[in-house]
Structure 1
Amino acid sequence: MASEFKKGWKVVFAALLATACGASPIPFNVLPLVMGPIHDEFGWDYTQISAATLMWGVLGAMLAPVYGGFCDRFGVRRVGILSMLAFILVFASFYFVPDWLPGWYMWWAALGLVAIGSTPVTWSRAVAMWFDRHRGLALGIMLLGTSATAMFVPHFVNFAINLGGWRAAFPAATVFALFLAMPFILAWFREPRPEERPATLEQAADGDVVGLSLRQAMHGRQFWILLVSTLLISFSYGGAHIHMAQMVELHGFTAGDAATVMSCVALGILIGRLGIGYLFDRFWAPGVAFPAMLLPAIACYLLMGTSTSFPLILFGGFLIGVAAGTETDIVAFMTARYFGLRHYGRIYGFLYAPFGIGSAISPMLYGYVRDTTGSYDLMLTVAVVLFAIGGAALLALGRYPGREQLSRRDV
């Protein structure tokens, strides 16, 4: 462990900051806090406001394999830097969103076009190549960035909203990317040279890392199991996170209480990231992931109704965070373990796509259920079932493939 982290800790730290400040967590931690003010000012309902994530999520998901392919071909450093800069510019420009619903959607669509390269689709490839025996823990540390975002950004954004209105939330959130993440990305983030790779990392005869092509991966059941599981779990999780503040307020608590619950979600993400990553390195990952996916099902049950006590809501928020902490670890870790690293970017991009699509559609459906029934209970009931099915599906992945299976080349 010491030798891998001695060589790769700078890259992990830079990737952690990049993940924290990029387009994966920032929009999902800003939108819950501006939904109410936007609803009050423009009169748009929660379904209309939430539908913006569909524009960003679906476009980003469709482009994730493209950006992943760019990473495989041109290197993660170049793709990550350019996409992070584009994310900063576009998200800050949300300050100028007009009182015109199509304009709101156009801004989110622009974000989807340029920002997917500032997500773990990019950062995880480099980290996976610096680590082998402790890859799960390293990826978990990298993905702690989303937990750090959920812990600190909502409070900072809430301060910015109180100071300058909901519009100020967007440029305020990009301050972290510009002044915290970018200096470390420029200084430390890169892929390892061949001689810097872990000695245990399996390499092909041509000196490159082993791994299946996208076509080969798609011919196996593991690819489709991961894809379906990711879709089901993200479909359940995305809306629960986005609408968490509204759920808390429906139970009679304040916006400040909601921010506290969001911080508890972040704590769950942190525990999920480190704990699950550590366990993935030591045990069969699907066997770890399945029980972890039952925890957010419990959370959805706790969040139903309007009279749950605040401690139980905090506990439910924590368990929802565990789901987020586990799910992105599952995709990143199992892509490397089941398909290798040679074409990691494209394969991970395709498997990240259902995560983006499910997370994008989910908030709109949660909002629709809220608008039509007055509560989130129906959607939370569906989420209980989907978390359980999505976790159980992973048990069908089977054993990790050996070097010979990962060294097969397309003919």
Structure 2
Amino acid sequence: MSNDAAAASGLDGGSAAWTVAIGGAIGLAVAFGPAFIASFGLYVKPIAADFGWSRTDVSWIYSLVAVLGAAGTPLLGFLLDRRGSRGVIIAASILLPLVLMLLVIVPANMPLFLACGLMIGLVAIIASPTAYVSLLPQWFSRRLGLAVAIGMFGSGFGQFALARAHGELLAHLDWRTAWTIMALVVAAIGIPAAVIAARDRPDLCALRRTRNDNAIEGLPLGEALRSPVFWTAVPAFFLVMLVTAAMLTHLAPLLTDRGWRIDQAAGAVAMIGLVSLAGRAVSGALLDRFGFGLLGALLFPMQAIGCGLLLLGGSDTTMYAASALIGLAYGVEADMLPWVLRKRFGLRCFGRLYGIAFGVVQVGSVLGPLVMGISFDKFGGYRLGLMTLTAAAVLSAVLVVVAAWIASATDSLTDPKEAFI
């Protein structure tokens, strides 16, 4: 849809569009990322101590959940393209707190622990940001970057707020009680947000019901998947997620090993989400103005510097600075992904394409925690893991620049400057 057509149809500024964006921000604040990915790392040591397990043993549930989420997200994309997002979002808001409560009742039994992870992982498929994010390109065109930034701002805020809340609770309560309280918070916020704000665009719903995909602007899925832009940008975002997931899971254990209290370590984990908020506050407008290449080239190397600081060690201030640098890139890749797909490929296969791309990116959530867990358990510390993450962060910056150059050179976006400058 052109900018003129978008304006004429009431998109990019109508009350329905902004209700979706703002309501999506609220829903994403308690979606799967903040509720589990950003919070579970604080529970690795308490669960390991309670169950008598290693940290790698406990991390397996995180990886299992991430594998299922990554594998199932492409299937979710097909569902969204056919049925829309509203029903999926409402179901996810109800099921997510229920499966989180399973962790409270599971005993120190590895098969049952993994079965709990299986259930959480199945719900993670629909409770991921995919359904909410798929709504935004329906309602926004020229302000898509801003809309995505607003929606994903909620995710960053949730990661900050929930991590802080978990840390405070863990400082005073046992881990099962703390987890129960936060699962109830997820339900109290997430269900009303889903019911009120999850709205598909009516004209697209009508086209989907008639299976008239050719009337929806954009490229078919096969052509989109053959694009070199897709296969250079998506791996860059995957590497950002790998670094972030590793840090969200193991930063608290790393710092408590160095003598920090659990509430102090939670503050450092929360710093990642807090700085992510600041990045998202400006990244949307910058993305619409300058494109994804320049933004990625500036921010992705910050994760390498942050990991390097953690590797070298230093004062408490230095450790907070490292967390902040890691947080600068965190979330920006999530904003870039739907922006690139919408600008490059349109709406015809957006749900499927985003599901596939997000699934690839989510594999980073699987590998990152394992990199750090294996580093600790097999090599006696986190040094090798941090070196690996530093290299991954550098490579992510290289790939995003290559993707932007290809997009600019081939005019694969609406305007070459949308890719890089």
Work out whether the TM-score is over 0.5.
Answer: yes
2:86–2:198 contact (8 Å) kept in structure 1: yes
Closer, same or farther: CA 213–177 of 1 in aligned 2, 3 Å: farther
Q: Which residue of 1 aligns with 2:3?
A: none
Matches within 5 A, 1:176-195: 176-194=185-203
Gaps of 5+ in 1: 197-204, 405-411
Give CA-to-partner distance per residue, 1:69-115, whole Å, 9 cap, x none.
11111110011111222212111221111111222111111111122
1:396 aligns with 2:405: no
Distance in 2 (CA, whole Å) between partners of 1:396 and 1:88 is 41
Is the contact between residue 218 and residue 348 of structure 2 (CA under 8 Å) also seen in structure 1? yes
Q: Equivalents in 1 of 2:204, 2:194: separation in Å? A: 22
Q: What's 1:21 paired with?
A: 30
Match of 2:121 in 1: 112
SS at match of 2:64: helix
What does residue range 146-295 of structure 1 map to in structure 2 within 5 Å?
A: 146-162=155-171, 164-194=173-203, 208-295=215-302
Deviation at 1:208, TM superposition (A): 4.4
| Offset, 1:6 | 4.2
CA distance in 2, matches of 1:380, 1:233: 14
1:4 aligns with 2:15: no
Q: Which amino acid counterpart does residue 27 of structure 2 have in structure 1?
A: A
2:418 corresponds in structure 1 to none
Determine if the alignment matches structure 1 residue 96 to structure 2 residue 105: yes
Question: Structure 1 stretch 375-384 or stretch 291-300: which is displaced more?
Answer: 375-384
> What is the deviation of 1:168?
2.3
Structure 2: which amino acid aligns with 1:345?
G
Write the letter of the residue equivalent to 2:59: S
- 1:61 equivalent to 2:70? Answer yes
Work out the CA distance in 1 between the residues paired with 2:68 and 2:385: 24
- Offset at 1:239? 0.8
**Which residue is equivalent to 2:55?**
46
Distance 1:46 1:360 in 2: 15
Conservation of the 8 A alpha-carbon contact between 1:47 and 1:365? no
**Contact residue 210 and residue 403 of structure 1 kept, 8 A:** no
Q: Give the drift of 1:206.
A: 8.0
Q: Deviations over 1:219-244 (max 9, x none)?
A: 11112112322332222221112111
The change in CA–CA distance for 1:134 and 1:41 in structure 2 (over 3 A counts) is: same
> 2 CA distance for matches of 1:403 and 1:294?
27
Distance 2:299 2:39 in 1: 26
Does residue 85 in structure 1 map to residue 85 in structure 2?
A: no
For structure 1, which segment, 368-377 or 285-294, has the greater mean C-alpha deviation from structure 2 after superposition?
368-377
Is 2:337 the partner of 1:331? yes
Does the alignment pair 1:309 with 2:315?
Answer: yes
Residue number in structure 1 paired with 2:366:
360
CA positional deviation for 1:184: 2.4
How many angstroms does 1:126 deviate by? 0.8
- In 1, Cα distance between the equivalents of 2:155 and 2:45? 23
**1:403 Cα shift?**
6.8
Cα distance in 2 for partners of 1:40, 1:348 equals: 39
Identify the residue that residue 41 of structure 2 maps to in structure 1. Answer: 32
Report the Cα distance in structure 2 between the residues aligned to 1:162 and 1:379, rounded to whole angstroms. 28
Name the residue aligned to 2:4. none
1-side partners of 2:204 and 2:242: how far apart? Answer: 41
Q: Which SS does the other structure have where 1:212 is aligned?
A: coil
- Superposition TM-score, scaled by structure 1 size: 0.90
The 3 A distance-change label for structure 1 pair 253 and 402 is closer
Q: Residue in 1 aligned with 2:208?
A: none
> In 2, distance between residues paired with 1:32 and 1:232?
19
CA distance in 1, matches of 2:167, 2:270: 13
- Conserved? CA contact 2:242–2:368, under 8 Å: yes
Contact between 1:51 and 1:361, CA under 8 Å: does it hold in 2? no
Mapped partners of 1:391, 1:276: distance in 2: 16
Q: Distance in 2 between matches of 1:321 and 1:345?
A: 27
Structure 2 distance, partners of 1:4, 1:112, is 34
Q: State the TM-score, normalizing by the size of structure 2.
A: 0.88
The count of corresponding residues between Structure 1 and Structure 2 is: 395
Asked if 1 retains the 8 angstrom alpha-carbon contact of 2:171 and 2:262, the reply is: no
Name 2:150's counterpart in structure 1. 141
1:126 — aligned with what? Answer: 135
For 1:24 and 1:208, locate their aligned partners in 2 and report how far apart those are by CA, in whole Å. 34
1:11 is displaced (CA, Å) by 0.8
Displacement after TM superposition at 1:164 (Å): 4.6
In the aligned structure 1, how far is the partner of 2:223 from the partner of 2:234?
Answer: 15
